[in-house]
Amino acid sequence: MSSSIRISDETKQKLEARKREGESFDDLLDRLARTEKDVEKMGGWLDEDEAEGLEDHVAEKREELNESFEDRKARVDDRS
């Protein structure tokens, strides 16, 4: 089924700037119209337990990076 919509030249230019190589306007509008729920549905590669484990892992690594940063900052401050 084909239908048409009217948009201003300015809006068309904005949309053209957001189009990816080889992407049709239909593909572009579909991508832009996706909701967070659509993205969650497309993901589907983690179950709830795996997602929780991933969140814990990311939090742990973030804490390690923060501590490492603080240690390096303290060493630099000590040299000053």
- Is the four-CA dihedral 29, 30, 31, 33 of positive or negative sign? positive
pLDDT in tens, 28-64: 998 888 766 655 666 666 667 777 778 888 889 999 9
pLDDT > 90 fraction of the chain, expressed in percent and rounded: 35
Q: What is the pTM of this model?
A: 0.43
* Type of residue found at 69: F
Mean pLDDT of the chain: 83
CA dihedral 59, 62, 64, 68 (to 10 degrees): -160
Is the pLDDT assigned to residue 1 strictly greater than 80? Answer: no
What sections of the chain are H helices per DSSP?
Answer: 9-18, 25-33, 36-43, 48-79
Instruction: Say what the pLDDT of residue 19 is.
Output: 93
The vertex-71 CA angle with 69 and 76, nearest 5°, equals 95
